[in-house]
Amino acid sequence: MAIISQKSLFVWTDEINALGDLERLLLVLEQLPDEALMQKLEARRGKGRNDYPIRAMWNLLVAGMVFGHTSDASLLRELRRNRQLVYVCGFEHGKIPDAPNLTRFRSLLLGHQNLIDGMFETLSDILYGLEAEYGKELAIDSKWIESAANRESKLRKKDGRSEGDARKGIKTYSGIREDGSTWRKTDSCFGFKLHLLVDAKYELPVAYELTDAAASDIVQGRKLFNNLKKKRPTVLRRGRHIMADKGYDDTSFIEMMKEEEIRAVIDKRNMRKGDPERVVPGYQDAYYDEAGNVYCYGLDGGKKRTMVANGYESGRDALRFKCPAMAYGATCVDIDSCRCKHVRVPLSIDPRVFTQVQRESYKWKRLYRMRTAVERVNSRIDMVYGFESHRARGLGRVRLRVSLALSVMLAVAVARYMLNQPELMRRLLLIS
């Protein structure tokens, strides 16, 4: 058997830089703005028993998130075998809490969720101050978080183990295959839904809301931005574009973004039936479809030609389109008599179809690809912070876990910046 000499418990601080995960935890704890929460909880405890100090219990909870533990039992097993972690957390006399202690402390935190939310907002605002590009390109989406229960509790009097907040959410997807046949798919989840706004460049959270799984994406999206307008106007002032899938294809949402001078790059639902093309007002021979394409029909047999996108004209709040013969010399026998050499389409005709960034432009495609930043943040929430197999029940407990995970994510990013490593702000694991 290979014997590895034990590190001295009294000199381990001299070797902290070589401890990896513990260093990461220390950097997160250093960046978390948790003093207001600690003072509140310590004042509540007063002169009562202090076998497990408030700050030590909080540090342990943060450690569980940093190390991706999905249960209290897993976290406490690591605490028992890792004496360095005991002292990093602050259990000075080596007395280790058990599962009921941790459960009671987490229940205590439920009454101070506003302070934990405030920690997330403070960290996000710090990043706004540190990095001028942070928050310019935004993306929004939602993800389901399953409850640890598989159905709603039927108990009249709810206890700490019952599930009374989760709901069943259903999503239906449909489309048309290349051969013309249609397909349809339905997914469901019993639990909750995280509505997440992220920075699309750095792939870091900016704002969030947690609801039951049946909540509407667009309703919560409007609510999230209304709250930002009241509490954190900096987010709206800096934003330039917002990318989203077709779940946010809504006229009022697009116009809300436009009022805040944020250009919407949102995929579009197909809502027209039996009316594929409409006349562009003011042009007899120009038509547009629901995808935002503009066409002209030649006088010689009605040959259909797709017009070329020519940019957004802010003075008239309209999109410009140019005849392909005028744009790149395409052959057109009607060029002399054509009345559609240049077409302006006011956005007011249909704000869903015509947006400030033209749908058929390369810029629209480039920006829309950035929407996947939300998916990558959601993946890290599942894989790094253990949400794929978490055991929380109830909206309050799941929200506590979500807010702590997102705060830790931002704390790591701030620590990276402080270490002059802004290019590694998205890296959540080892800090070197």
Q: Choose among 78, 67, 159: nearest CA to 404.
A: 67
For the chain, the domains span 12-111, 115-151+165-269+368-407, 277-349
This prediction's pTM = 0.86
Please report the pLDDT score of residue 12 as a whole number.
36
Whether residue 341 contacts residue 323, with contact meaning beta carbons closer than 8 Å, is answered with: yes
* DSSP state letter for 6: P
Residue pLDDT, tens place only, 50-67: 788 999 999 999 999 988
CA dihedral (203, 208, 212, 216) in degrees, to 10, reads -80
> Comparing 150 with 353, which gets the higher pLDDT?
353
Q: Which of 264-268, 300-304, 427-431 has the highest mean pLDDT?
A: 264-268
Of the chain, the end-to-end C-alpha distance in Å amounts to 32
Residue pLDDT, tens place only, 401-430: 999 999 999 998 998 888 877 766 666 544
Question: CB burial class (10 A; 0-12, 13-18, 19+) of residue 254?
Answer: buried
Please report the pLDDT score of residue 216 as a whole number.
94
Please report the pLDDT score of residue 6 as a whole number.
39
Amino acid at 56: A
Task: Show the tokens assigned to 410.
Answer: 């931002």
Cα–Cα distance, 367 to 370 (Å, whole number)? 5
Please report the pLDDT score of residue 16 as a whole number.
36
Share of the chain above pLDDT 90, in %: 47
Cα–Cα distance, 245 to 368 (Å, whole number)? 9
> Comparing 309 with 368, which gets the higher pLDDT?
368
Q: Which CATH number fits domain 115-151+165-269+368-407: 3.30.420.10, 3.20.20.70, 3.90.1150.10, 3.40.50.300?
A: 3.30.420.10
pLDDT confidence tier of residue 311, bands split at 50, 70 and 90: confident
The label of the residue with tokens 């830790």 reads: 408
Residue pLDDT, tens place only, 169-216: 888 877 777 777 888 888 888 989 999 999 999 999 999 999 999 999
Cα–Cα distance, 194 to 220 (Å, whole number)? 10
Taking residue 157's Cβ as centre, other Cβ atoms within 10 Å add up to: 6
